[in-house]
Amino acid sequence: MDSQSSAESDNWISDGEWEDVSPQTRRRLLRNAFGATAGAAALAGCSQGGDEDTPTPLENEGGGGSTTTDGESDGQSSGQTLDHIISLAPTNARFNPYGNAANFSFRWYWAMFDQLAVHDKVSNQTKGMVVEDWEYADNGQVAWNIRDTYTWHNGDDLTAEDVTTQLKIGQLMQTVHKGYGAQPLYENVEQTGTYELTFDLVEPSISREIFEFGHMKRRAWLWAHRDIWGQYAEMFDDATTESERTSAQQEMMQAIQQDVWDNANVPGNSVWEFVSGEENVAHFEPYDDYVSPFSDAEWANGEITGDMIDYNLDWHRYPNQQQRTRAMQEGVIDVSYPPESQSARDQLREGGWGPADDLSEDQITPQMRSGSMGVLLNCQSDITGDPRVRKAIHHIVPRRPLVEWVPDYGTYWVEDRIPTGIGQDKEVPWFGGNSEWPSGALTQLDRYAHTEDDVDEQRATELLEAAGFSRSGGRWQDPNGENVTLRFYTATSDEEPMALRFAQIAKTYLDDFGLQTEVTAQEATIRAGNTLESGDWEMLFDSWGGAKSGPPFLGFSNSFRVQESLSGQPLPTNDNWAMDRTVEVPYPIGNPDGDLREVDVINELNELRTQMSDEERRQKVAEVSWIFNQTLPMMLINEEGGTGGYWLNHDNWGTMPPDNNRNPAYRYEIVEVGQYSYCQYMAKMGTEYFHPAGGQ
């Protein structure tokens, strides 16, 4: 029987940065990846399952608590212990990925547990971690082989039974691994050997990139020790009725493990062992018996083990930025968010501090960028319902001026370069790679007004006039002779100050062209609720891009807001604003004045979910990008990525530059951890690329 091995799977780029983004951005990523309803559920899980709403460098880390001196150290950081910030009191930590009352740090998940897999951006393939290799059969059966080098921190061997336990709990809870990801796309999980298991794909034709993204890479930490969590997998096996499954789900959600540093309660399996916890400090030490799955990478100089790591890892609780800044100034921590004040930052730089990833613009590749903020355009409005009007707006409002005023423009924020609906991180694998992007069909897409020099009033006028609009006295009027007013709802300065600013800048361009625009800053729950659903607007701030570096399907399914679900079910909340399922698009690709062809957007998106060759997928991504480029249900404003949010004391710690992703710190997408602040997770890659200063 023909099969597909792990080495032959679809090439793609997995998810990435999580810890170095703001609460708003984390909410955007959740909502983008799974839709509004699932995103809300995922966000609820986030507040239960993690200790922090992780802030931008300019915000408090969260977690509340005492304002007394927390995270105290007996003296300055020695450089032999990596002293990191945390907002959760270790003594308050409670572990259960699906727990109603759980409270556990995302950072600790990474430190204590390895993932099933990560993504290698150099080879553009999945890199197995706990799962060493895998095989897809034509009949939809999947075989996983588990590495036999792993042990739990309590000394037990990690086996296929542990992985089987976690997969079955995912079926019980209807979300995989931590309750944040995809619904399980597998069934009939069976352990077939000590280190082997099989299962069947619910949809044998599902794209391997989508399956691996949601089931092996997206927060796919292995945490389910069979002796601690196996009873819930058995409950799933034994449940034959809906009420029995509901009862089992409730028991699973109520289960809590404390003290989290006790290996009898929460044994880990990665390089860092949680050895003790105090009210304000969590102590981790290298787990000597750890054998890194990166040992078999071609860049590794032989086996990488825990006993090679020559430093410890402590997490210090500092509930607010004032305390963190003082700790940075006093030299008692090594990794933290920086203060907002530029003078305070300058002072810290004199003491050896700086961005953990202190990258120049030429070191930041397109692969590091992902979609962030955008503006929905009402496809049911009497004004913007005509795609020619949406195109005219894009020709008048240049994207770069909306973004270039930001202080960290270039090193973190950039404007969207080409309106494809997916962003650079998802474009790169299909259109030239880092060195040749953009290339191929991507170069045939209309870029509209990228810079101020690209503003094309003549083309915008032609489009509006073709749509029946006319201009009188410097003011555009609709086909009924009524003055046009674009109602633009955006975020408040407290929620997202960038969004308010770029709405005001866009208004200037639109007003000058005669498309009068009214900007209203509105609280998020109202804007994304009643206002959105009413359809009484033309432009409305939202996010785009999908989960970072995920399959293109995830980006498109967010940027195409349609009146029906992918299964064809009506979405009543979308009736008054979302695009119709069937649209007219000019062809061939690259000719905006070509013959119009009717396109079913839902069918196009569903086709992207299926397995196909790389060349077929490249062509399909190009076609769907063109459909977005010519229908423009959103205006894509900016992309984020590059330097991370953390600062590092470089006097104490040695780092190396990306070297075009050959540095493993940048080569691998460590899902949802903080892609570029690699001081958090370099120990499992040895000590060559991150180590105490003077240690190499």
pLDDT tier, 214 (very low <50, low <70, confident <90, very high otherwise): confident
pLDDT value at position 119?
Answer: 83
Q: Residue 118: which residues within 8 A CB-CB, separation 6 or more?
A: 14, 126, 127, 129, 217, 668, 669, 670, 671
- Nearest Cα to Cα of residue 609 among 580, 567, 579: 567
- Find the mean pLDDT for residues 517-545: 96
C-alpha R_g of the chain: 25
With a cut of 80, say whether residue 172 has pLDDT above it: yes
131: its two tokens: 């799962």
Of 150-154, 231-235, 369-373, 645-649, the least confident: 645-649
132 and 158 in contact (C-beta within 8 Å)?
A: no
pLDDT value at position 42?
Answer: 31
pLDDT tier, 178 (very low <50, low <70, confident <90, very high otherwise): confident
521 and 495 in contact (C-beta within 8 Å)?
A: no
For 423, phi then psi, to 5°, come to: 90, 165
**% of residues, the chain, pLDDT over 90:** 68
**Identity (one letter) of the amino acid at 612?**
M
Distance spanning both ends of the chain, measured CA to CA: 50
HSE-up of 339 (CA within 13 Å, CB side)? 18
- Find the mean pLDDT for residues 579-600: 97
Q: Alpha-carbon distance 19 to 646, whole Å?
A: 9
Summarised one tens digit per residue, pLDDT across range 118-152 is 888 777 788 999 999 999 999 999 999 999 999 99
DSSP string, 179-248: TTSPPP-EEEEEEEETTEEEEEESSTTB-HHHHHIIIIITT-B----HHHHHHHHHHHHH--SHHHHHHH
pLDDT value at position 259?
Answer: 93
pLDDT tier, 466 (very low <50, low <70, confident <90, very high otherwise): very high
Per mean pLDDT, which of 17-31, 366-380, 385-399, 551-565 is the most reliable?
A: 385-399
With a cut of 80, say whether residue 18 has pLDDT above it: no
Q: Alpha-carbon distance 109 to 220, whole Å?
A: 10
pLDDT tier, 591 (very low <50, low <70, confident <90, very high otherwise): very high
Q: Which residue has the higher pLDDT, 560 or 70?
A: 560
Q: Residue 10: which residues within 8 A CB-CB, separation 6 or more?
A: 207, 208, 209, 212, 611, 614, 617
Q: Determine if residue 327 is left, alpha or beta; phi over 0 gives left, psi from -120 to 50 gives alpha, anything else beta.
A: alpha
379 and 389 in contact (C-beta within 8 Å)?
A: no
Of 504-518, 537-551, 579-593, the least confident: 537-551
pLDDT value at position 476?
Answer: 98
pLDDT tier, 678 (very low <50, low <70, confident <90, very high otherwise): low
Cα angle, residue 13 at apex, residues 107 and 623 outer, rounded to 5°? 140
Summarised one tens digit per residue, pLDDT across range 503-528 is 999 999 999 999 999 999 999 999 99
pLDDT tier, 602 (very low <50, low <70, confident <90, very high otherwise): very high
Q: Is 513 helix (H, G, I), strand (E, B) or coil?
A: helix
pLDDT value at position 363?
Answer: 84
**Identity (one letter) of the amino acid at 629?**
N
3-class SS string, 581-594: CEEEEEECCCCCCC
Per mean pLDDT, which of 17-31, 552-566, 657-671 is the most reliable?
A: 552-566
166: its two tokens: 């976690």
Helix 387-396 to helix 497-513 angle (10° resolution) is: 100
Q: Which residue has the higher pLDDT, 33 or 535?
A: 535
111 and 124 in contact (C-beta within 8 Å)?
A: no
With a cut of 50, say whether residue 14 has pLDDT above it: no
- Find the mean pLDDT for residues 402-424: 92
Cβ atoms within 10 Å of 612's Cβ, excluding its own: 16
With a cut of 90, say whether residue 20 has pLDDT above it: no
Strands across the sheet containing 539-543: 516-521, 485-490, 539-543, 373-377, 634-636
Mean residue pLDDT of the chain comes to 86
pLDDT value at position 498?
Answer: 94
In 620-695, beta strands by DSSP E: 634-636, 638-640, 647-649, 653-655, 668-669, 690-692
Q: Residue 585: which residues within 8 A CB-CB, separation 6 or more?
A: 596, 597, 599, 626, 627, 630, 631
pLDDT tier, 680 (very low <50, low <70, confident <90, very high otherwise): low
- Nearest Cα to Cα of residue 272 among 301, 311, 222: 311
Q: Determine if residue 410 is left, alpha or beta; phi over 0 gives left, psi from -120 to 50 gives alpha, anything else beta.
A: left
Q: Is the dihedral of CA 121, 124, 126, 129 positive or negative?
A: negative
pLDDT tier, 223 (very low <50, low <70, confident <90, very high otherwise): very high
Q: Residue 497: which residues within 8 A CB-CB, separation 6 or more?
A: 491
pLDDT value at position 50?
Answer: 35
pLDDT value at position 71?
Answer: 52
3-class SS string, 339-373: CCCHHHHHHHHHCCEEECCCCCHHHCCHHHCEECE
pTM: predicted TM-score of the whole model, two decimal places: 0.84
Q: Alpha-carbon distance 268 to 593, whole Å?
A: 59
- Find the mean pLDDT for residues 21-50: 32
With a cut of 60, say whether residue 65 has pLDDT above it: no
pLDDT tier, 160 (very low <50, low <70, confident <90, very high otherwise): very high
For 44, phi then psi, to 5°, come to: -60, -40
Cβ atoms within 10 Å of 8's Cβ, excluding its own: 12
Summarised one tens digit per residue, pLDDT across range 333-391 is 999 988 988 899 999 999 999 888 777 788 888 888 889 999 999 999 999 999 999 99
- Find the mean pLDDT for residues 150-167: 98
Alpha helices in 50-117 (DSSP H): 106-112
Contacts for 44-50: CB closer than 8 Å, 24+ residues apart: 45/98, 45/178, 45/179, 45/180, 46/180, 48/99, 48/100, 48/101, 48/102, 48/103, 49/96, 49/97, 49/98, 49/99, 49/102, 49/103, 49/104, 49/178, 49/179, 49/180, 50/103, 50/104, 50/105, 50/106
pLDDT tier, 589 (very low <50, low <70, confident <90, very high otherwise): very high
Helix 387-396 to helix 457-466 angle (10° resolution) is: 170
pLDDT value at position 628?
Answer: 98
| Residue keyed to tokens 């799962």 | 131
Q: Is the dihedral of CA 110, 111, 114, 120 positive or negative?
A: positive
Fold classification of 370-640 (topology level): Dipeptide-binding Protein; domain 3 (3.10.105)
621 and 552 in contact (C-beta within 8 Å)?
A: yes
Per mean pLDDT, which of 210-219, 462-471, 676-685 is the most reliable?
A: 462-471
- Nearest Cα to Cα of residue 646 among 690, 684, 678: 678
- Find the mean pLDDT for residues 168-189: 88
Burial class from Cβ neighbours inside 10 Å (0-12, 13-18, 19+) for residue 588 reads: exposed
**Identity (one letter) of the amino acid at 454?**
D
pLDDT value at position 670?
Answer: 67
Of 39-43, 205-209, 352-356, 492-496, the least confident: 39-43
pLDDT value at position 695?
Answer: 54
